[in-house]
Amino acid sequence: MRVHIHTDVSALSGKPQHWHAVNWRQVERNVRGMQMRIAKATREGKWRKVKALQRMLTRTFSAKLFAVKRVTENQGKRTAGVDGELWALPETKWSAVSRMKQRGYRPLPLRRIYIPKANGKKRPLGIPTMLDRAMQALYLLALEPVSESTSDPNSYGFRRNRSTADAMSQLFLSLSKKASAQWVLEADIAGCFDHIDHAWLDKNVPLDRTVLRKWLKSGLIYQGQFQETTAGTPQGGIISPTLANVALNGLESGLAGYLCSKFGSKKAIKLKVNVVRYADDFVITGTSQDVLENEVRPWVVAFLAVRGLQLSPEKTRITHIDQGFDFLGWNFRKYQGTLLIKPSKKNVQTFYRKVTEIISTHKGVTQEELIFMLNPVLRGWAQYHSPVVAKEAYSRMDDLLFRAIWRWAKRRHPQKSTAWVKGKYFHSIGDRAWVFAAPVVADDGGKVLRELYDVSKTAIKRHKKIKGAYNPFDPDWEMYGETLHQERMLENMSHRKQWIRMYVDQGGLCAVCNCKMTKATGSHDHHIEYRVDGGSDALSNRVLLHPNCHTQVHSMGLKVIKPVPVWGI
């Protein structure tokens, strides 16, 4: 039994009366049960049943609650649409659920903003209103089971439990052997999100067409001017990545079918044509340049043209594996027959510019504040490259970072000697000298050193690739998905041993709502007896909660009980 919070039990039975009375565990079960039924009907090809189940799901109270919860807890919760409305208060969230009605629904135009890209250009984003985001999240609950059940096995972008590391691992399997394909078609779709044909989406996306058309034709507002949207599904909408995936599904299976029909299955296998896709970037391998140029590329061009898309001329090329190619921030290249995957030069340079920009724009902050800002950035970049051959790049980055930090320190004290600057900002810790670390006050009142994250100490660990056939909405894959999820969450927390212990003890579930804690939901470390009341930092006095549940506990003065360890049940 897992009831870890003292509250009115009657409030959790039947329909709740306010936001904090919602039994989120039950809500999640209700939604997931419907999604699994939709996925089953999809696998069986019962499309009328799929449509009926989708209609049922989007009208349930649980699905609407779940949708509002998602859009009010993600990173975009503080970014308003054209109406300037945000749903920050529990009362606002609760009233929003009743506004989510299909009849009479009319989405407002998107708020257009531009964000800089690594190549100096700007990426357009369309920001929907909170209500439109919630409606998209609601219908995404109905679309995702269909999309997952019909996706290509080696499509990895914007899909549950799939990542860039999975795409990298699949390419390693396709290229690493001596007898593997030697040629690669690097492909990139020009403005994929902005050019998908609306007519194709309207005809092929298994979703309520009336609502889908309203989103596609809602228009956008930029600098006070309204602009019509005649194509594309603008980046920024919650449902847009899945719509793009639906449009590109069939790239892998369709190409395989074409080659088998033209050459026969035996010869098609010998061509070693493998597709690995992440969002709108994809790589296709082949035994020869001729096969990729004269068979694969024309088919891909025709496949995309039907959807209103085309390949980017400047980013699409055919390369021999000995020359190497870049994909998802890594460089894939064979050296004397051995495939090595390293951080790409472009990725390293872009990251270094980002770090030096943080340092140069914060010349006046304290050492502790600078370390606080840099550590998450450094750790994130290092862990991203930890499954590949990255030690050389790590060492080079540490070198460059030290020089930038030294310039920062010297600039603050131009009249002081080198020895004085070193003594103030750098320390010897263990066998390491010149460690950039700041003394901070510990919980017990003593002094400890907060170090700058040491990139070169990041362990290199081979990534365990997800199985291509995995479907998160298929009961047969339930145990596999749970095991994979916990393994990856533990890897993400490898720098916080105490968090790992709490996460394992709680079975990966929030101690309040009993729902899963994921990278997307986030988690907070909560002290059962508050530190201001004398509570200790011992593990027996701490639990992990969702950020929203943490707010609920403090705002309502609820008492959390330490859950019984899963391994002790």
Tell me the per-residue pLDDT of 238-265, one tens digit each, with 9 for 90 and over: 999 999 999 999 999 999 999 999 999 9
Tens of pLDDT, residues 445-497 = 667 888 999 999 999 999 999 999 999 999 999 888 877 877 776 666 544 66
Residue 43 contacts residue 475 (beta carbons within 8 Å): no
Find all residues with CB under 8 Å of 351, minimum gap 6, and list them.
Answer: 381, 397
Question: What CA–CA distance (Å, rounded) separates 385 from 278?
Answer: 17
Per-residue tokens: 28: 């999640």
In this predicted structure, the answer to whether residue 539 has a pLDDT above a threshold of 60 is: yes
Residue of 494, 498, 496 whose CA lies nearest to 459: 494
% of residues, the chain, pLDDT over 70: 92
**pLDDT at residue 2, as a whole number:** 39
What is residue 444's predicted lDDT score, i.e. its pLDDT? 60
DSSP one-letter string for 414-450: TTS-HHHHHHHHEEEETTEEEEEEEEEE-TTS-EEEE
Distance CA 322, CA 341 (A): 12
* Mean pLDDT over each residue of the chain, to the nearest integer: 89
Report the pLDDT value the prediction gives residue 1, as an integer from 0 to 100: 31
pLDDT-derived band at 414 (thresholds 50, 70, 90) equals: very high
Q: What is the DSSP letter of 527?
A: E
State residue 118's pLDDT score: 66
Which pLDDT band holds residue 6 (cuts at 50, 70, 90)? very low
What are the residue ranges spanned by the domains of the chain? 21-154+199-247, 345-451, 496-556
Give me the mean pLDDT over the 282-287 stretch: 97
pLDDT of 301 strictly over 70? yes
pLDDT of residue 443: 59
pTM of this structure = 0.85
Write the pLDDT tens digit of every residue in 488-534.
766 665 446 677 788 888 888 998 888 888 877 888 888 887 654 55
Give 223's contacts (C-beta < 8 A, 6+ positions apart): none
Digit-coded pLDDT (tens) for 175-186: 999 999 999 999
pLDDT at 499: 78
- Contact between 510 and 549 under an 8 Å Cβ cutoff? The reply is yes
| Mean pLDDT within 326-350 | 97
Strand arrangement of the beta sheet that strand 447-451 belongs to = 426-429, 432-441, 447-451
Query: Do 114 and 125 meet the contact criterion of CB atoms below 8 Å apart?
Result: yes
> Residue 519 is encoded by which pair of tokens?
């990278």
Q: What integer is the mean pLDDT of 30-47?
A: 96
Identify the pLDDT of residue 551: 79
CA neighbours closer than 13 Å in the CB half-sphere of residue 204: 19
Judged against a pLDDT cut of 90, whether residue 11 lies above it is answered with no
At which residue do the structure tokens 């862990």 appear?
A: 383
Higher pLDDT, residue 154 or 11: 154
The predicted pLDDT at position 537 comes to: 65
pLDDT at 123 over 90: no
At residue 535, the pLDDT reads: 64
Summarize pLDDT for 62-94 with one digit per residue, the tens: 999 999 999 998 888 889 999 999 999 999 999
Average pLDDT estimate for 43-53: 97
Asked whether the predicted pLDDT for residue 8 surpasses 50, the reply is: no
Position 119 scores a pLDDT of 66
- CA 326 to CA 15: how far, in whole Å? 53
pLDDT number for residue 445: 64
pLDDT computed for residue 364 by the predictor: 92
